[in-house]
Amino acid sequence: MSPPTVGEARDQLRRQVVQLYHPEPGAGPPLSLRKIAAKLDRSYGLVWALLNEAGVKRRTSTHHKRRATTNS
pLDDT digits (tens, 9 = 90+) for 19-52: 999 999 999 999 999 999 999 999 999 999 999 9
* % of the chain residues with pLDDT over 90: 69
Q: Kindly report the pTM of this predicted structure.
A: 0.77
Whether residue 33 contacts residue 52, with contact meaning beta carbons closer than 8 Å, is answered with no
Break the chain into its structural domains and give their ranges. Answer: 7-53
Q: How far apart are CA 29 and CA 51, in angstroms?
A: 17
Band of residue 3 on the pLDDT scale cut at 50, 70, 90: confident
61 confidence band (pLDDT: 50, 70, 90)? confident
Written as one letter, the residue type at 59 is R
